[in-house]
Amino acid sequence: MTSKCFHCYEAVPTGVNLSVEINHVTQPMCCIGCQAVAQTIIDNGLTQYYTVRTEPAQKGQPLVPEQLQKNKLLDEAVLQSEFIYQDKDCKEAILTIDGISCAACAWLIEMQLKKLNGLVNISVNATSQRATVRWQDDKVKLSEILLAIEHIGYQALPFKANDAEIRNKKQSKEFIKRLGISGILMMQVMMIAFGLYFGAFSGMAEHNKVYLRWVSFILTIPIIFYGAFPFYTGAIKAIKAKRLSMDVPVSIAIILAFSASAWGTISEQGEVYFESVSMFTFLLLIGKFLEFRARSHAAQVSANLLKLMPMTATKIVFSNDSSTVNTDSSNNGATNTPTQQNEKSLQREVMVAAKQLIRGDTVMVKPGEVVPADGVITAGSSQLNEAMLSGEQLPISKTINDSVFAGTINGDGNIMVQVKQASSQSFLSQLIRLSEQSQAHKPKIAQLSDKIAQYFVALILLTSIATAIYWQQHMPEEAFWITLSVLVATCPCALSLATPTGLTCATTRLNRAGIMIKGGHVMETMPEINCFAFDKTGTLTTGEFTIGDIELLETATKHSREQVLAIAAALEAHSEHPIAKPFAEYRDYHVTAEQVKVHSGKGVSGTINAIDYAIGKYSWLEKSTENKDNDQAINSSESISTNEKANLKGASCVLMANNNVVAVFHLVDKVREDAFETLSILNEDNKTLLLSGDSQLACDTLTKTLPIHNALGGLSAQDKMLQIQHAQAQGYKVAMTGDGVNDSPVFGAAHVSIAMGCGADITKSGADVILLNNKMSSINTLVKVSHRTRRIIIQNYLWAFGYNAIVLPLAVTGYITPYMAVIGMSTSSILVISNSLRLLKD
């Protein structure tokens, strides 16, 4: 019987004996092309493709280059689901890019890829060596983007935490290997140099000198062509793209120094300085390695977050559905709980890869396990540690219908979770993606420094040429080494590291505190803010109401305080409105409401002991019924005076019995515990505003508790926006803090918008900053870190500019040797990175 190709399902021709081992099983292949493509899939760790594909793959083309085949595979939708974020008609992904040595490399990649038709945006972070890319898939494919990056000499792949960690370790080992070989050989060359120096004073025979020079020459070759290789590749990439990078002057210096010494050895004329070249390269490599370690340390936050995701999940599979538990479309999108499903089918537990979970799947999360996907609890209750989102270590109680997030840790209870988001759309994935975007943003000062760095490299080369010409005429024996010192000492590496290292460390620090930066301009704009505007409910207050005061009115039907609370609780038990929650503790199950009707956004009506009751806003209750089919079925009393009506309109809700008002409830929204301290600190240097849709009376009451300069109530979203624009017209830079959903026009008007809490869909929120921990004090942390970040970036630039301004004239005049130049250049870069790392400290 003829077997079929495992890859394309075509028949395997007679006599063809090709195969690939997939999941420890040898599978037949019909041709070399299919074998090559299948092997590429296995080698890249994409074996899952064969598990989840819905149709056979296209027949492999053996003449297509291997790297192009690898890139083409990444265009497959089933593979892209692991790392692609779909936003309307655009796709977005984070790429890990190998070969980035400095900010000039990042700038080079951005400039070259912006030429691609269909590329919406690319932001490269030189510190983390990652790029955030957005493109229109109908105009350009991901494989074409990767190929364009490869054409300018860099290797790019979709970012995965484990892969990135492995790649960093591999790169670190390569650095250490280059350092080890260069260091050992440098010591041998230095020993020979001492012999030559002492021999010159003791009359060493000429043939011995020639011999020692040739030994030095041979020992130096691996240092120059292996140890210094990263500098050459960086310079070649820049020159190919018709740009200048920091590697260009360094490479010229190394090659010139080695070439001059090599010519002196071959021709047996002049002096040789192999020990200088060896030490020069070795010190450069040390600086490069320390810079790499510092960058890796600063950029590890995203990888650490992704590592929180579990590899496996316990999926609940029902006997009448072997794949997933889907949403019942006939039930208006509602889903069956596990208990309901057990009534009609048996269930079993199956271990699956967490990344294979899709919307509608049901998973069991046992005590101590990590939640594998965003979802809603359908059975059970527990306490979950959400420190990875909010920075708060205290566990949070969760029960049925509560949302849970991927990466959070389950506490002491079994819970059943219905998956609401695929892994690529999870809150954690969004957190990482948005964090990468904010880190990759370049403030105006960074854009300016990139341009300056380009011109500065050109200035270095021109200055080096002029220096060589001058000293060749006045002191030929020193001209070469003085020129070498100029090339190295003034390399503007620190200048290009000043901003990206600072922003990366600041974003990492804020993430640890439960503050997520979405807008790239936040760290640049926040230090300029001098006016903070706040919404009331859910921002300065918790949004959790309590019953503050109850007024009992004289009516024909007498009710005690306990009775009105029990009646109100019986009615409000049928409502999901936030105002209904404070009545729950007064629920008396001996009091039962019948014929209950919930009037959306208005109130609740029903019958208790043959008496018609209604609870809600008085503005709803006072309307007379002209049509029996109207959803408001109760007439208000006409005996209430005008003053009493005014008082009732200011109440939170009113209870009526047979058209008579029997009780008035005044609810109090609890003020956040840290609101007073936060506002007190902000008031020291800023103006504070309260912009609320609640009544002016409620706002004035709140100002008696909290120190707010101006409080304005009864505002619509449009009114709030006008107030912010009015403050801006007076010269204020305004930051608005609110819920981030209803106030999107207001957020758009503010210089910086801040939302409380994670929300249901953070990608649709208009906020620039999200306070994941729901703490008002986080605003002060944001202000403090942003000011500190600006100071540190300015310090970095002052050091970088100051160092080059001092060292350039000293190098040109011959006061700096090549050794001093290397040490100075490396030290300046390390100081800039170390200064930025201070932001990671609390």
pLDDT at position 734 is: 92
Can you spell out the DSSP letters for 145-202? HHHHHHHTT-EEEE--HHHHHHHHHHHHHHHHHHHHHHHHHHHHHHHHHHHHHHHHHH
- Opening angle at CA 260, ends 254 and 266, nearest 5: 130
Average pLDDT over residues 616-624: 68
CATH code for residues 79-159: 3.30.70.100
pLDDT at position 62 is: 42
516: left (phi over 0), alpha (psi -120 to 50) or beta: beta
pLDDT at position 265 is: 87
Residue 287 pLDDT exceeds 90: no
Classify domain 542-670 at the CATH topology level: Calcium-transporting ATPase, cytoplasmic domain N (3.40.1110)
pLDDT in tens, 536-546: 877 888 767 78
Q: Who wins on pLDDT, 413 or 333?
A: 413
pLDDT in tens, 684-703: 888 999 988 777 877 888 88
What's the mean pLDDT when you consider all of the chain?
Answer: 75
Q: Who wins on pLDDT, 126 or 294?
A: 126
Q: Who wins on pLDDT, 781 or 516?
A: 781
Average pLDDT over residues 579-603: 82
Compute the distance between CA of residue 93 and CA of residue 95 in angstroms, rounded to an integer: 6
Among 342, 431, 351, 452, smallest CA distance to 386 is for 431
Compute the distance between CA of residue 524 and CA of residue 503 in angstroms, rounded to an integer: 9
pLDDT at position 330 is: 36
pLDDT in tens, 198-220: 665 566 777 888 888 899 999 99
Poorest-confidence range of 30-44, 535-549, 699-713? 30-44
Ranges of beta strands (E only) in 25-162 are 25-29, 85-87, 90-98, 119-125, 130-135, 155-158
- Opening angle at CA 721, ends 717 and 727, nearest 5: 145
pLDDT at position 806 is: 86
pLDDT at position 695 is: 73
Residue 290 pLDDT exceeds 70: no
Does the global pTM surpass 0.75? Answer: no
Average pLDDT over residues 164-183: 79
- Percent above pLDDT 70 for the chain: 71
Among 611, 622, 608, 618, smallest CA distance to 663 is for 618
Classify domain 517-541+672-785 at the CATH topology level: Rossmann fold (3.40.50)
pLDDT band at 779 (very low <50, low <70, confident <90, very high): very high
- Percent above pLDDT 90 for the chain: 6
CB burial readout 104-124, b (16+ within 10 A) else e: bbbbbbbebbeeeeebbebbb
Number of residues assigned to the chain: 842
C-alpha distance across the termini of the chain, in Å: 70
pLDDT band at 780 (very low <50, low <70, confident <90, very high): very high
Average pLDDT over residues 781-791: 91
pLDDT band at 328 (very low <50, low <70, confident <90, very high): very low
Compute the distance between CA of residue 808 and CA of residue 457 in angstroms, rounded to an integer: 12
pLDDT band at 349 (very low <50, low <70, confident <90, very high): confident
pLDDT at position 448 is: 64
Poorest-confidence range of 159-173, 262-276, 461-475, 574-588? 159-173
pLDDT in tens, 380-425: 888 887 765 554 555 677 888 888 888 788 877 888 999 887 766 6
Most confident of 83-92, 510-519, 526-535: 526-535
pLDDT band at 787 (very low <50, low <70, confident <90, very high): very high
- Joined together, the tokens standing for residue 52 give 């989840």
- Joined together, the tokens standing for residue 478 give 């020193």
Most confident of 340-354, 492-506, 804-818: 804-818
Most confident of 5-19, 88-102, 482-496, 649-663: 5-19
Q: What are the boundaries of each domain within the chain?
A: 18-73, 79-159, 161-298, 306-433, 447-514+786-842, 517-541+672-785, 542-670
pLDDT at position 302 is: 47
Asked if residue 593 lies in contact with residue 608, where contact means CB atoms within 8 angstroms, the answer is: yes
Q: Which CATH architecture has domain 306-433?
A: Distorted Sandwich (2.70)
pLDDT at position 64 is: 39
pLDDT at position 493 is: 66
Q: Who wins on pLDDT, 658 or 58?
A: 658
Among 747, 551, 578, 753, smallest CA distance to 655 is for 551
pLDDT in tens, 596-609: 888 766 788 899 88
